[in-house]
Amino acid sequence: MKKTGILLLLFSVFLFLAFNKHSKDDHQSYQSVLWADASGYYVYNPIWFIYGNDCSSMPDSIRFKTGTGFSFNEKTGNIITKYTSGVAILQAPFFLVAHILSGPMGFPSDGFSPIYHGAIMIAGTFYGLLGLLFSFLFLKKYFLEKISLITVSVFFLGTNLFYYTLDASGFLHVYSFFLISAIAYLTTKIYKAPLFKFFLPLLVSLALVMLIRPTNIILVIFIFFFGNTFSFPENIAFFRQHLKPVFISLLISLSILIPQLIYWSQSFNSPIVYSYGEEGFPFLLSPKLIPVWFSTNNGLFTWAPVLFTGVAGMAMALWKKDRNGIIITVIFLLSSYVFSSWWNYWFGCAMGARSFVEYYPLLMFPFTYVISQIKSKVGMALLFVFFAGCIWINLNIIYYYDGCFYGGEWDWNAYFKLVTD
């Protein structure tokens, strides 16, 4: 009961912060939680439950009032979004409650009035808190509870996870963060108690996070190798021994893809579509790793220097040949390569390197490892001073900067002016 009370209190605080942050925002502007990309992820719910895939039934003004995150195909009559439906699936319960209450509470039941925006803020807060909880439970399997709690707190306050949970809760990142944190926690369970009840949520989470971003297939490496001492042949044998629960769980998880296949068939005349058009990975042979990590234009470590602690942990894991640390290092490098190969490797208007937010549950592991290795009071005090400075910079930017960083990639003068104002 005590732990439940703490979670409810945290949820209440998070909700207050989220609604307070948006209290003066116009829900039909860039400050809205359903603006641009966020409306493109979300629009599946109005399609499924209000309009059907029929653009003539949706007021034309809505797409402009939400930043044109989706469009209309006047020839086919379809509502077109290039984004997949994974985020919308997770948002659906909150959408439905808002839709049921919209009429009685005096709001238009159009899928985009203020009550729906409030529902998405609640959804982001809910999944963000669950993601933090699963991350904590994952870390607690390997580290002391107090140290694990410190890590989760520092990541929330000292990185853009705070922003994408409470401010930009319509974007995909907090939902993927929740799913990967669940995958991390459930992976620690399956090798010790390989039951259907663990395989099913694990594979459902994997299916959803891959639906949101297909490149998340690299998480299979984590599931297959993390948290066990098996060799590769032993891993194969383990899954073969439990083939029935794996197969049933896989079938159920694949059913999550059905709404997406139906939508693509209706809108693009094919069940399998690359809906991003000419957007792709032109830098596969020349990945922009240095800008992705260190540029003032949404560089990972530039905007969240607290993450250098995790890098130190990865270096220590490589030095000590720690298997789990090496696996996370490989996943970090692979994800960095993918993001730095994308045509828009800085990921547009963002608060820091938003593409990495979902991988924070994994990066927490080497981060926590560093904290656990510090034995002296002086060393711990210095580390906490570093954490406090990073948290101050992060929250200062979030609460006092309204927009995008418009300096160049290496415009340090403009960057330092921003973070010190």
217-233 residue pLDDT tens? 999 999 988 887 677 77
78-to-43, 44, 54, 99, 109 alpha-carbon distances in Å:
12, 12, 5, 22, 20
3-state helix, strand, coil split of the chain in percent (to 5) is 70, 0, 30
Tokens found for residue 119? 């529902």
265-298 residue pLDDT tens? 999 999 999 989 889 999 999 999 999 999 999 9
Tell me how far apart the alpha carbons of residues 413 and 207 are, in angstroms, rounded to a whole number: 43
Tokens found for residue 175? 């939902």
Cβ–Cβ under 8 Å, residues 20 and 67: no
Assign 32 to helix, strand or coil. coil
Please report, rounded to a whole number, the percentage of residues in the chain having pLDDT higher than 70: 99
Instruction: Write the DSSP string, 216-284.
Output: GGGHHHHHHHTT----HHHHHHHHHHTHHHHHHHHHHHHGGGHHHHHHHHHHHSSSS--TTTT---TTT
Cβ–Cβ under 8 Å, residues 182 and 201: yes
The residue whose two tokens read 């990865």 is 314
Cβ–Cβ under 8 Å, residues 149 and 136: yes
Tell me how far apart the alpha carbons of residues 103 and 14 are, in angstroms, rounded to a whole number: 27
Does 234 score more than 80 pLDDT? no
142-168 residue pLDDT tens? 999 999 999 999 999 999 999 999 999
Residue 111 DSSP label? S
Provide the sign of the torsion angle of the four alpha carbons 27, 30, 31, 35, taken in this order: positive
13-42 residue pLDDT tens? 999 999 988 887 777 777 889 998 999 999
Q: What is the pLDDT of residue 134?
A: 98
Q: What is the pLDDT of residue 1?
A: 62
Tell me how far apart the alpha carbons of residues 336 and 197 are, in angstroms, rounded to a whole number: 32
At residue 415 the predicted structure's pLDDT band, cuts being 50, 70 and 90, is confident
244-273 residue pLDDT tens? 888 888 899 999 999 999 999 999 999 999
- Residue 3 burial (CB count, 10 A): 8
Q: What is the pLDDT of residue 312?
A: 96
Tokens found for residue 341? 């190969």
Q: What is the pLDDT of residue 248?
A: 87
The residue whose two tokens read 């909700």 is 15
Does 194 score more than 70 pLDDT? no
Does 402 score more than 80 pLDDT? no
Tell me how far apart the alpha carbons of residues 264 and 293 are, in angstroms, rounded to a whole number: 35
Distinct helix (H) and strand (E) counts, the chain: 21, 2
**Domain coordinates in residue numbering, the chain:** 119-420
- Residue 314 burial (CB count, 10 A): 23
Task: For 350-393, give the secondary structure using H, E and C.
Answer: CCCCHHHHHHHHHHHHHHHHHHHHCCCHHHHHHHHHHHHHHHHH
Provide the sign of the torsion angle of the four alpha carbons 218, 251, 271, 69, taken in this order: negative
Q: Taking the model in full, what pTM does it have? A: 0.95
